[in-house]
Homo-oligomer: A and B are copies of this chain.
Amino acid sequence: MATAAPIRSRKAQIDRTATALFRARGFAATSMRELATELGLEAGSLYSHIKSKEEILHRVCFGLAEDFFAGFAAATLDTAAPIATQLRLAIEAHVRVLTRDSAASAVFLHEWRHLSEPARTEFLALRDRYEASFRELIQRGIAANELHAPDAAFAALTLLASLNWLPAWYRPDGKLSPDDIAHRLAEQLLGGLLTNK
């Protein structure tokens, strides 16, 4: 009889547990021994599955970056739709990524600076590109007279800031479902941007 396949690969299990620890204690303050204990094995054994502590961080940060880009691309696929609609969908997609895995999101948002070069610079370039996508969408909305804001860059920054605070207070077992939260955030943030309310 073959042994039952593990529900998740050991590597994925390590990533998941490490992500939770990185979020709770920070990357630098999380030790590989702590991680190993949490997984029920010895510190040295981790290295049969991963190459280094930073490799985990790298996977988490760049994996989430992909998710954010994919969400934005899907939200803005229909370029004929009103910009306000595209923006609303982009906000909801962003919130969906944040709530699907808020631990990984928190690591993505706060622990990336422990990446060593060149990964750190590459990561920041991705993040800048993502912010620029929102900024440009808002700019197009202003040009089309669908949105109003004194400064598109400012508006994009505060919009993403509001959304990115979510992992700090979101509880998966809270009263509001991820979709409720996404709708409410989109509603409130667009409320300040829409030309005719």
Contacts and interface: CB of A to CB of B under 8 A. Distances in A.
Counting contact residues on chain A (CB < 8 A from B), the size range is 20 to 34
A180 B60 CA distance: 37
Highest count of chain B CB atoms <10 Å: which of A29, A149, A187: A29
Interface string A139-156: 000000000011100110
Contacts of A189: 158, 192
A157 B169 contact: yes
B162 A113 contact: no
Interface of A is mostly: helix
Interface of A: 25-29, 110, 113-114, 149-151, 154-155, 157-158, 160-162, 164-165, 169, 184-185, 187-189, 191-193
17 contacts: A25-B28, A28-B28, A28-B29, A150-B184, A150-B187, A150-B188, A154-B184, A155-B188, A158-B162, A158-B165, A158-B185, A160-B165, A162-B162, A188-B192, A189-B192, A192-B192, A192-B193
